[in-house]
Structure formats: C-alpha cells, structure tokens
Homo-oligomer: A and B are copies of this chain.
Amino acid sequence: MKNISAEIVAVGTELLLGQISNTNAQWISEQLASIGINVHHHAVVGDNLTRVENQFRTSASRADVVIVTGGLGPTEDDLTREAFQQITGMDIVEHETSMAKIKTYFQKQKAGMTPNNRKQARIFAGADVIENQTGMAPGMIVSHEGKSWIFLPGVPREMKRMMTDDVIPYLRQLTGESRVIKSTMLRFIGIGESHLEHKLRDLIHYQSNPTIAPLAQNEGVAIRLTAKANTDDEAAALINQTKQEILNKVGHHYYGADEETIEKKVLTLLQQANKSVGAAESLTGGKFTDKLISIPGASHVCRGGIVCYDTEVKENVLRVSPELIQQYGTVSEECALAMAENVCTLLDTHVGISFTGVAGPDNVEGHPAGTVFIAVHERSGKQLSQKYTFQGDRQTIRKRTVLKGYELLYNLLK
C-alpha cells in the first residue's frame, strides 16, 4: 500500500466566526482513517482570496491529497475556484450537465435564476466531475503537479454523498491498498488514561500492527486497535491477539468494545440475568435512571425510580425512618443502604441502587462537596455500600457519581 497523506481544508468565514463547527473535517477524517489514509492536517480559512491561495500553497507543500470543502456556491464570497486558478493557472469552463440541472431547478421552483447561480456550474478544464445528487454545485477531482485535489461542497449532505459514492473509491485506488483494514475500540471503566497507558506502555511502544491508541472518552477510557492484513480473518486474528495481551494486563477494567457503553452493558447483564433495577437518587436527581431509559428496550429492566432530593421525600415516599436520618444524617452509609433497600421494595425490583451525598457548591450536614455514598441492595438480601470523595464542580461530581454507580453494578453483575 502506498503511504498517502491527506489534508482537509475548509473554506468559510462562518467557521472562523464560530457560527458553525467543522464537523465535515471530522467526518471525512473518520472515512479516510478507515481506508488507511493518514490525515496530517485540518485547516480552516476564511472567504479571502489571498488567504485561500496561501493556504492552498501550504497544503500542497505537505500533503499528497488535499480535500477542500466549501466555497463552491453562488455568492461573491465563494472563492475556492478562483484561488485554485490563481495558483495553478488552470482554465475554468462551464459544465453543461450541471448548468442544465441548475436551470431546470429554477424552472421547477418558478423562481428567476439570478446570474450568480451560473457560477456554481463552473469546473476546471479536464477535471473529473463528481455529480451533485442532492444539490447544485458539482464536485471535482483534479491532478496537479503530482498532487490530487478534491473539491467538495460545504453542505454536509452533499459532501457526504460525494465522498461515499466517488471520492472513497477513487482514493482506495490511489492507495493501491489490497490489504484489509480493521479497527476496534476497547472500553474500560474504573481506570484513568495515564494509569492505563502506564500499564500498557511496553505494548504501545513496541506494537505496530495493530496500532494501539489510548483515548480519554467522556465516560471512561478507550483503546483503539487498527490492524492491516491480507484477509478479514487475518486482520481479526491480529486484533484478537493484541486484545488478549491488553486484557491480560487490564482486563479487570474492560467492559466492552466499539459502540458499547457502560449503561448498555449493565442493561444487557440485567436482561441476561432476568433482573430489574430501580434507583433512589438524591444528588444525582434522576440522571442514573435517565441514562438507562435512554436505551431502547430499557423497559424490561428499568421500571422507574425515585428522585428523593429532599429529606421529606426520603421519609414520606421512600420510607427511610426519620430516626435513622436524625441519627446518621442523609449523607451517610446508613441512609444510602435504607434508600437502596426501600426503593427495591417500593418498585418491586431485583436490585435497588441509591445515591446520596453532596453535589455542592455548599456543604451539607457538615460534609464537603464531593462526599458521596452509593449503596446496592439485592432482593436476596445482599447489600453493599461505598463512600467516595469526588473532585470537581457540581456537574462533574454528579456525573462521576452516576458513572461510579454503573461501575458498581457492572462489577456486581459480570
């Protein structure tokens, strides 16, 4: 396979004003990664002729393939063609098929076509034209001084269609890659990124096929493995072998691969065990239950939950005894255990889980923000509870509490 480096250039002042995010670059990068093309740069430049020209020169100096999104539209600000013409001297001609399509569109809309719409049908002489199935301006593939230039509209829907139908097949040919590329994401909980990396440092250092890339995710840590091989089976075997080596070191923290999330995993384990769960949530305010119910099919496992932020709700709805609260306070192991047991009974579930503690910013009952108790009660009578001290602001503490709850359940059920 030829080693090809790519750069993605977005043209559009709206990106530099922060009005929209460059999601095109993310999407294109994912596609290129999946066919083994290395993206070395993303660039965003505004609708300014000189600056677009200079960006194109910089990009040409460092990439084999330059994918340009945006600046092909009808307005005066759309300068991608002009800039590329300036640096290459290529001729621009009208593309008849595209022009006919634009005319038809305006006839159908019974709207007069303004002259600037003609702009959209212009292409570089000799370019491979990519038809726009969902919009006006066609895309183009142009070879110039040994580099491939790919021009695509900035509208995500139009760009994606062209990438999938035309650009990816073209690039696969360009790479001459006959090998299969396979990728998987391993997901971990209860371990930080630096800790994980430390434990795997030798593997990460010496391993090249598959490559091993640790990633901090919103919730937990992940490792992406990417293997190249002659066949699907061979690539899968390479991945499997490295996965085993990784799990030998940190398997205790592994909960699933690819699209798995910890709440989906817990839901699956509960389904397999034919068990239901209910939560009594104080500081987490419904966040634990919300995550579970956000998964389609949760109804067989999660009947509901009680948000008992106020002490009165703990007493009157959850039936935690006022004496217990008087003696130990609501931020206590005793209260957490009573909440877990009582929500189990009230909702008639197999497992009850409870969250009580201080989300902050203020102290509660003398405990600082971040003090949290989580308890689990099983219908069989088995109980456990745990005290935590989380760092961070109110939102972080609440999120970490919920995540820790899922981790506890996962360890209980696995």
Contacts and interface: CB of A to CB of B under 8 A. Distances in A.
A213 interface: yes
Interface string A8-51: 00100111111111110111111111000011111111101001
A394 B293 CA distance: 10
A296 B393 CA distance: 10
A306 B307 contact: yes
Contacts of A25: 18, 21-22, 44
Contact of A16 (B42, B389, B391): B42
Contact of A42 (B43, B290, B359): B43
A316 interface: yes
Contacts of A3: none
Contacts of A45: 40-41
B293 A195 contact: no
Interface stretch (A90-98, A143-151, A281-289, A406-414): A281-289
Given A19-B215, A302-B309, 13 more contacts: A16-B29, A16-B39, A41-B55, A43-B43, A73-B194, A108-B389, A109-B391, A111-B192, A286-B287, A287-B290, A293-B359, A296-B360, A296-B362
A310 interface: yes
Given A14-B215, A42-B16, A194-B74, A303 B313 contact: yes
A160 B320 CA distance: 42
A26 B22 CA distance: 8
A117 B194 contact: yes
Contact of A21 (B18, B22, B31, B392): B22
Contacts of A114: 194-195, 198
Contacts of A10: 42
Contacts of A20: 26
A195 B111 CA distance: 10
B23 A214 contact: no
6 contacts: A22-B22, A134-B396, A284-B290, A285-B294, A287-B290, A305-B307
Contacts of A305: 286, 306-307
B292 A116 contact: no
Contacts of A108: 389, 391
Interface of A is mostly: mixed
A197 interface: yes
Q: Which of A19, A108, A281, A298 has the most CB of B within 10 A?
A: A19
Contact of A17 (B30, B157, B391): B30
A40 to B, nearest CB: 6
A18 B44 contact: no
A234 interface: no
A274 interface: no
Interface of A: 10, 13-23, 25-33, 38-46, 48, 51, 54-55, 58, 62, 73-76, 105, 108-109, 111, 114, 116-117, 134, 157, 192-195, 197-198, 213-215, 224, 281, 283-290, 292-294, 296, 298-299, 302-310, 312-313, 316-317, 346-348, 359-362, 389, 391-396, 398
A54 B41 CA distance: 11
B26 A18 contact: yes
Contacts of A214: 75
Q: Which of A39, A44, A134, A312 has the most CB of B within 10 A?
A: A44
Contacts of A290: 284-287, 290
A31 B306 CA distance: 41
A40 B58 contact: no
A228 B177 CA distance: 55
B27 A42 contact: no
Given A294-B398, A313-B303, A26 B30 contact: no
A29 B15 contact: yes
